[in-house]
Amino acid sequence: MGKKLAVISLFTALLFIFSGCSTLVGLFSGKSDTMMEYLESTNDMDSAHLLLLMEEETILSEEELLNFTENKLLPGMRDFLNQAVDVREQFDDEELLEVHDLLIASYEALIEGNELWLADHEDEAAYQLMDEYVTLYDQYTNELEALANEWGVTITWEELDLEAESE
């Protein structure tokens, strides 16, 4: 029993050492700089996309929602998708690109879902795509935060305020 405990203790100590080394490797290999550059490249775009969705939630009538979706939401999301594709071209780290591809996929799902919704408000596929957007975007933020932590960067998420942004 004592040997088993010693092995577990050694394994735990090695795990902490490797975790610390992983953070140090991130700091010394330039990965933290890459992450900071990535966060700076995506922050405004991502905040604007979330504000657009918050604005959508304030719309009360179906007629206004149709107009907003067609004339503001979809053009805005297509622009954000193009920006996200452009940002992807700026980086070559495979781990980061895998995470970034989740952002692109989430934008694509949201666009496709809203296009289907405009064509037919009862289309179940539209709602499934919008749910897929939420799942992909949550996965993106979780994996981005985990990768940032691994690379020695702490992400502090800020709550957006639609009223403050519109002033």
pLDDT per residue as tens digits for the range 37-49: 999 999 999 999 9
Whole-number pLDDT of residue 7: 38
pLDDT at 130 over 60: yes
Q: Where are the domains of the chain?
A: 30-166
CATH topology for 30-166? Four Helix Bundle (Hemerythrin (Met), subunit A) (1.20.120)
pLDDT per residue as tens digits for the range 134-160: 999 999 999 999 999 999 999 988 777
* Amino acid at site 4: K
- pLDDT tier at 116, thresholds 50, 70, 90: very high
Whole-number pLDDT of residue 159: 79
- pLDDT tier at 30, thresholds 50, 70, 90: confident
Dist. CA 102–CA 12, nearest whole Å:
32
* Average pLDDT over the chain, rounded to an integer: 84
pLDDT per residue as tens digits for the range 50-86: 999 999 999 999 999 999 999 999 999 999 999 999 9
Dist. CA 66–CA 71, nearest whole Å:
8
- pLDDT tier at 93, thresholds 50, 70, 90: very high
